[in-house]
Chain A
Amino acid sequence: MERSVIFAGFGGQGLLFAGQVLARAAMDEDREVLWIPTYGPEMRGGTAACTVIVGDEPIGSPVVDAAWAAVVLNPPSLAKFGPLVAPGGTLVVNATLIEAESGRDDVDELRVPCTRLAREAGDDRLVSVAALGALVGRTGIVGPDAVIAALREILGRKHPEALEADLAVFEGGLAFGRAAPVTATLAPAAVG
């Protein structure tokens, strides 16, 4: 089964990076994965997004009409991608920036104070890493160890000075995702 995750937010919130870490983690678990960014002009100052599709067979469509999960980091992203989550899917919302709720009672809406979690762990810029932690803690789409290994692999080479903070923020998000109560009684998402 294919599991698709949309990451969306302001350019600069690190969501392309978070998607890339998830893709790398999935690959390290010997699974198939596809990472695709939006690369339109909307990336300059507006909302940016990427999609990561994880599966056991070679990935089919790079476009998703019903997402297994979405991680939305700013209000326009919730409006645009909230409705795209399949019934039974997971919606991770950056509660620090987004006051509105999705209004959906058929998805697991996980409201995560991403900025606060990131700040508590040492770097409030790492919003998307906190959100990735919450997604992984909630859904288990990949194992936490694979994400940690991916962060070490990617940051260890390019930005070793940032690694410690990223790992701490990821752990904070992971703990939040595991501990938060589920918002609705849901069947597992059926649509990739």
Chain B
Amino acid sequence: MTITTIPPTPLHHGHRVLMKGNEAMAEAAIRAGCDAYFGYPITPQAELLEWMARRMPEESRPFVQAESELGAITMALGAAATGARVLVSSSSPGISLMAEAMSYMAGAEIPMVLVNVMRGGPGLGGIGPSQADYFQATKGHGHGDYRVPVLAPSSIGEAMALMADAFELAEKYRTPVFILADGTLGQAMEPVELHFREPPRLAADWALTGADGRPPRVVKSMHLEPEDLEVHNRHLQAKFAEITAREVRWAGENLDGAELVIVAYGTAARVARTAIARARDDALRVGLFRPITLWPFPSAALAEVAARARGVLVVELSAGQMVEDVRLAIEGRTPVAFEGRTGGMVPTPGEVLDALRRLRGTTAGDAAEPTKEARP
């Protein structure tokens, strides 16, 4: 049974409406000027595709449900190579099938936005919410030396805002961009203030628009001469360095005077927020460091925040993936603990609070206070 967002009426800018995450991301993409959508249904992402199936024809824009994820991403590659603003969405197993084309697009510098509404893995796994595709999204996804910007929303409103930002980043740097959401964010409904944004179109002087009256252009990832390929790789790496220098994003909450800091993104950050509120009853001051770009990872900012804390707790819906980047950022200067659930399970605020208490126990300074009775 699919329950859809209530108002199929016109969604007016500025209105506050109750929207399902998948549908909100889809509408935000349309309002961001998405020219074409390609996809293949998979839970827990299906409502995004369903929304596009209804809305894109209303806007006289192409919607294609391909014969498979491979078909969808490869069609998207072709459309995006013409300079079109293209969206593709799927969930974990489908995203794996798209890795080859993502590598080609990174190599050929083709902009596109790919949404992953993550579910539990490995393999076909299950359909519950997960963050177990962090490695896949941030460390390359496909073969070759490349990275793509990865944006991680923590609320439905933020997911809508990041959609326009993702298209902007993709076109500015001529790169695919990931939006990494999870099943909870896709399936939940929240009130959202409708603030749509269509990024300005850059002159795509590389796009394949027909060579009538101008020299032909080439969009390709193949460079058979090693010398040429290395030159191309140096160019790509310089671009990745520029993205790393300029596009890092994160949000902090209650970090001033925090003795412990939780690092979490997406749904895990929301669980952490509730646990942090409860920790106040323990006289435990805990801050939240929430990466919004998972790549580039906010390493420098985190190192600075962690240096002022006694301990860092990483919370993920995985067996521990982002925790590796946290440890690389902190370089052993502050103890790092991990709390996670897998397979579609989400840590409860109580479990995170217990992990905070354990961390305090192992990092306690002179002023450690006795632990109060646990709340139910």
Q: Say which residue of A11, A59, A66 sits within 8 Å of B1 (CB atoms).
A: A11
Q: Which residues of B contact A191 (CB under 8 A)?
A: 375-376
Do A62 and B188 form a contact, CB below 8 Å, given A39-B127, A191-B375?
yes
A137 close to B (CB within 8 Å): no
Q: Is the CB of A37 within 8 A of B271?
A: no
A141 to B93, CA, bound (A): 40
Do A39 and B18 form a contact, CB below 8 Å, given A60-B277, A61-B270, A61-B274?
no
Q: Is the CB of B267 within 8 A of A16?
A: no
B39 close to A (CB within 8 Å): no
A27 close to B (CB within 8 Å): yes
Q: Say which residue of B1, B43, B187, B349 sits within 8 Å of A61 (CB atoms).
A: B349
Q: Is the CB of A65 within 8 A of B189?
A: no
Interface residues of B (CB under 8 A from A): 1, 3, 6-9, 16, 18, 43-44, 126-128, 155, 183-184, 187-191, 267, 270-271, 273-275, 277, 344, 346-351, 375-376
CB distance from A121 to the nearest CB of B (A): 23
Q: Mark A56-82, 1 if CB is under 8 A from B, else 0.
A: 001111111110000000000000000
Residues A1-54 near B (CB distance < 8 A): 2, 11, 16-17, 20, 23-24, 27, 32-37, 39-41, 43, 48
Q: Is the CB of A20 within 8 A of B189?
A: yes
A165 close to B (CB within 8 Å): no
Q: Is the CB of A36 within 8 A of B184?
A: yes
Q: A36-B187, A60-B273, A61-B271 are in contact. List 12 more A-B contacts (CB 8 A).
A: A27-B18, A27-B191, A33-B18, A36-B184, A36-B189, A37-B187, A39-B183, A40-B344, A86-B376, A87-B376, A191-B376, A192-B274
A33 to B346, CA, bound (A): 19
Do A33 and B191 form a contact, CB below 8 Å, given A27-B18, A60-B273?
yes
A124 close to B (CB within 8 Å): no
CB distance from B349 to the nearest CB of A (A): 5
A96 to B177, CA, bound (A): 53
User: Smallest CB-CB separation from B349: which chain A residue?
Assistant: A61
User: Smallest CB-CB separation from B188: which chain A residue?
Assistant: A36
CB distance from B84 to the nearest CB of A (A): 32
Q: Is the CB of B188 within 8 A of A60?
A: no
Q: Say which residue of B273, B347, B376 sits within 8 Å of A66 (CB atoms).
A: B376
Q: Which size bracket describes the interface of A in this complex? A: 35 or more
A37 to B350, CA, bound (A): 21
Q: Is the CB of A39 within 8 A of B270?
A: no
A42 to B184, CA, bound (A): 16
Q: Which residues of A contact B1 (CB under 8 A)?
A: 11, 16, 43, 48
A60 to B271, CA, bound (A): 6
CB distance from A64 to the nearest CB of B (A): 8
A153 to B376, CA, bound (A): 37
Q: Which residues of B contact A175 (CB under 8 A)?
A: none
Q: Is the CB of A60 within 8 A of B6?
A: no
Do A39 and B190 form a contact, CB below 8 Å, given A11-B1, A66-B376?
no
Q: Is the CB of B187 within 8 A of A58?
A: no
User: Smallest CB-CB separation from A86: which chain B residue?
Assistant: B376
User: Smallest CB-CB separation from B8: which chain A residue?
Assistant: A157
CB distance from A46 to the nearest CB of B (A): 13
A24 to B7, CA, bound (A): 11
A149 close to B (CB within 8 Å): no
CB distance from B143 to the nearest CB of A (A): 33
Interface residues of A (CB under 8 A from B): 2, 11, 16-17, 20, 23-24, 27, 32-37, 39-41, 43, 48, 58-66, 86-87, 153-154, 157, 191-192
Q: Which residues of A contact B43 (CB under 8 A)?
A: 39
Q: Which residues of B contact A17 (CB under 8 A)?
A: 3
Identify 20 residue pairs between A and B in the complex whose beta-carbon atoms are under 8 Å apart, listed by A's number: A24-B18, A27-B191, A33-B18, A33-B190, A34-B190, A35-B188, A36-B184, A36-B187, A39-B44, A59-B190, A60-B271, A60-B277, A61-B271, A61-B275, A62-B184, A62-B188, A62-B271, A63-B349, A66-B350, A86-B376
Q: Is the CB of B189 within 8 A of A23?
A: yes
CB distance from B288 to the nearest CB of A (A): 10
User: Smallest CB-CB separation from A21: which chain B residue?
Assistant: B6
A154 to B189, CA, bound (A): 15
CB distance from A11 to the nearest CB of B (A): 7
Q: Which residues of B contact A86 (CB under 8 A)?
A: 376
Of B6, B126, B183, the most chain A CB neighbours within 10 A belong to: B6
A40 to B127, CA, bound (A): 7
Q: Which residues of B contact A59 (CB under 8 A)?
A: 190, 270
List of 7 A-B pairs having minimum Cβ-Cβ separation, nearest first: A60-B274, A61-B274, A65-B348, A60-B273, A35-B189, A61-B271, A36-B188
Q: Say which residue of A23, A39, A48, A192 sits within 8 Å of B187 (CB atoms).
A: A39
A132 to B43, CA, bound (A): 29
User: Smallest CB-CB separation from B345: which chain A residue?
Assistant: A63
User: Smallest CB-CB separation from B44: which chain A residue?
Assistant: A39
Q: Is the CB of A62 within 8 A of B270?
A: yes
CB distance from B12 to the nearest CB of A (A): 15
A33 to B157, CA, bound (A): 13
Do A61 and B190 form a contact, CB below 8 Å, given A39-B43, A40-B128, A191-B376?
no
Q: Is the CB of A62 within 8 A of B267?
A: yes
Do A16 and B3 form a contact, CB below 8 Å, given A35-B188, A61-B273?
yes
